[in-house]
């Protein structure tokens, strides 16, 4: 079996995805692609009132992740290993759990226009 070039660590909030991703990146000496929840200005409002803040929170994460995935696709594909602590596809799944019907329709329209073809991981570790 060949060594994986793109590894994703996935799972629920707080399970240790980022910690494991960092350890794997240290082990392989590789690039690390991490979620950046602290950069989302809508997250505190979401935790206070999910119903009213879910859409801007989700859109911010979507744009952030799309930007990271675009950079990942444009970066040097000859690097030995890359590690990420999320799958882009998870964003749509989470949106389906947090958004109302009308908001989800709007989100889906935006997602279809901005989502890029994310690299396919060689290995996904679910925690």
Q: Which of 38, 75, 85, 122 is labelled catalytic?
A: 85
pTM score over 0.75: yes
Instruction: Count CA within 13 A, CB hemisphere, residue 93.
Output: 8
Q: Does the annotation mark 85 as catalytic?
A: yes
Establish if 95 belongs to a structural domain: yes
Label each residue of 20-73 as H, E or C: HHHHHHHHHCCEEECCCHHHCCCHHHHHHCHHHHHHHHHHHHHHHHHHHHHHHH
CB 63 within 8 A of CB 114: yes
Count of domains observed in the chain = 1
Domain hosting 27: range is 6-126
What are the residues facing 126 on neighbouring strands? Answer: 10
Neighbouring CB atoms inside 10 A of 61's CB total 22
pLDDT tens per residue, the chain (127 residues)? 577 788 999 988 889 999 999 999 999 888 889 989 999 999 999 999 999 999 999 999 999 988 888 877 665 556 667 899 988 888 889 899 999 999 999 999 999 988 777 788 889 999 9
Establish if 118 belongs to a structural domain: yes
């Amino acid at each position: 079996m060949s060594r994986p070039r793109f590894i994703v660590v996935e799972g629920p909030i707080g399970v240790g995805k980022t910690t494991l991703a960092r350890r794997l990146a240290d082990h392989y000496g590789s690039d690390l692609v991490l979620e950046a929840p602290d950069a989302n200005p809508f997250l505190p409002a979401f935790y206070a009132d999910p119903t009213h803040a879910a859409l801007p929170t989700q859109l911010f994460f979507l744009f952030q992740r799309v930007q990271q995935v675009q950079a990942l696709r444009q970066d040097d594909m000859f690097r030995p290993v890359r590690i990420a602590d999320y799958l882009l596809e998870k964003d749509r799944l989470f949106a389906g759990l947090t958004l109302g019907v009308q908001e989800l329709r709007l989100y889906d329209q935006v997602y279809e226009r901005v989502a890029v073809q994310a690299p396919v991981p060689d290995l996904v570790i679910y925690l």
